[in-house]
Amino acid sequence: MDLELYFDKINIDEFDFLNLGSTQRLGHTILTNCSEDSFPALEDCQIAIVGVPEERLAVGNKGCSLAPNEVRKYLYRLFPHKKQCKICDLGNLRIGASTQDTYKILADILTELLKMKIIPIILGGSGDIAFANYCAYENIGQIINAFAVDSRIDLGEEADQFNSQSYLTSIVCREPNYLFGYTHVAYQQYFVSPDVISLMHDLYFDSYRVGVLQDNLDNVEPLVRGADMVSIDVGSVRGSDAPGNGNCSPHGLYGEQLCKITRYAGMSDKCSSIGFYETNPLLDSGGRTSHMVAHAIWYFIDGYMWRKHDYPYKEKESYKKFYVTLQNDAYTIVFYKSKKSERWWMEVPCSKDKQVKYERHYLVPCTYEDYQIAMQDRIPDRWLLAYNKIML
């Protein structure tokens, strides 16, 4: 697949980082599809930036298609990390005649990147672009966990009502289905129907209100550590930090909290794609939202640099192993603690044929607190959620 045919070149002069008095900006290190250079060579590339200026199904947020270049403007001005990796910017995708055409083209491109073990950073555009991201995993037949940060849960009442606030319904209803687990964080309860919360529970999906996260944001780390695909809606951040969104709220995450979450995503060995959606430059006072998203991307890259490569589905000798028997020998939960990072996982029992199918999911990221819960003869919620999914 000749990726160059599907992208427009970008004009880096618009980003105004070349005249900042330093040749050490992040923009100097990124291999960019710009007018002066040929399409970036993807050999040895570890991260690829993909702009997707698609907004036709945006709900209440027209103007978000302008976001990719606005985010780049701030991203390219930042100083690079002490450790460096090869980052390519493929430019902005040429939008299809219909949104379905855009999804198909984007899914095929993301499929190629995933096969090459390149992590795409998707710059939307509207939130429904995440549907194309999911389809890329479908193309390679990979069962995944998805993780979303959003003030709303994008489940619509009808599968045919597809837009930026209902695309998740289409993912859930697809057959065959490659979505094993879905975790949603930072939703605001007054924006979500009780029926949707009930449906999330029935599907064994995990969801956390923004108020729960505020108590201890570190609890997000094991949740995002289990995700393959991460989707960020900037509407999850309060309007004071991110005014550039037609659906912003006075409440939500702080910008620095979003950055912490994206750093956790970067640190996860499983995370193989991330998308940032719904930034609207037309509503963005002083460019604050685009600036914040650029910081969140910087932190994702920073987390990627510090990956420990200790996902324990291989090389289990690198872990301390703990057996906890519960409820009069009814259950035995095996815990693993990494000797590298001291992070925890727990094993969900399943048959050998299901271990082949769910080889990336029967080891569940957890915390030391989950181990303590098991020691008190109680089954951790995370373990039970994964067990119910595997037993379906």
For residues 82 and 108, the answer to whether their CB atoms sit within 8 Å is no
**Bridge-partner residues for 346, per DSSP?**
335, 364
Burial per residue of 71-94, b for 16 or more beta-carbon CB atoms within 10 angstroms, e otherwise:
bbbbbbbbebbeeeebbbbbbbbe
Residue with tokens 């303590």: 372
The secondary element (H helix, E strand) that includes residue 363 is strand 363-366
Beta bridge partners of 179: 144
Quick check: 123 and 67 in contact, CB under 8 A? Answer: yes
Confidence at residue 353, expressed as pLDDT on a 0 to 100 scale: 76
How high is the pLDDT of residue 35? 74
pLDDT at 9: 93
Distances in whole angstroms, Cα of residue 288 to Cα of each of 67, 72, 181, 231, 336: 12, 13, 33, 20, 42
CATH 3.40.800.10 for domain 3-305, yes or no, is yes
C-alpha atoms less than 13 angstroms from C-alpha of 306 in its C-beta half-sphere = 13
Best CA proximity match to 264, nearest among 293, 303, 317, 301: 303
Please, are residues 340 and 318 in contact by the beta-carbon 8 Å criterion?
A: yes
254 contacts 237 by C-beta, under 8 angstroms: yes
* Helix boundaries (H) for the chain: 26-29, 67-75, 99-115, 129-139, 167-173, 194-202, 210-215, 220-225, 255-267, 288-305, 352-357, 368-375, 381-391
Model pTM score: 0.94
Neighbouring CB atoms inside 10 A of 22's CB total 11
Burial (CB count within 10 angstroms: exposed 0-12, middle 13-18, buried 19+), residue 125: buried
Task: State how beta strands 119-124 and 206-209 pair.
Answer: unpaired
* SS3 (DSSP) at 380: coil
Angle between helices 99-115 and 129-139 (to 10 degrees): 50
Q: How far apart are CA 117 and CA 180, in angstroms?
A: 21
Can you tell me the distance from the alpha carbon of 134 to that of 273, in angstroms, rounded to the nearest whole number?
Answer: 10
Residue type at position 29:
T
Instruction: Check: CB of residue 68 under 8 Å from CB of residue 18.
Output: no
Contact between residue 323 and residue 375 where contact means Cβ atoms under 8 Å apart: no
pLDDT in tens, the chain (392 residues): 889 999 999 988 888 876 776 678 898 899 999 876 689 999 999 999 999 999 999 999 999 999 999 999 999 999 998 888 999 999 999 999 999 999 999 999 999 999 999 999 999 999 999 999 999 999 999 999 999 999 999 887 665 689 899 899 999 999 999 999 999 999 999 999 999 999 999 999 999 999 999 889 999 999 999 999 999 999 999 999 999 999 999 999 999 999 999 999 999 999 999 999 999 999 999 999 999 999 999 999 999 999 988 876 656 678 999 999 998 888 899 999 998 889 999 999 887 777 777 777 888 999 999 999 999 999 999 999 998 888 77
Tokens of residue 246, six digits: 């037609």
271-278-162 Cα angle (round to 5): 90
All structural domains of the chain with their residue ranges: 3-305, 316-391
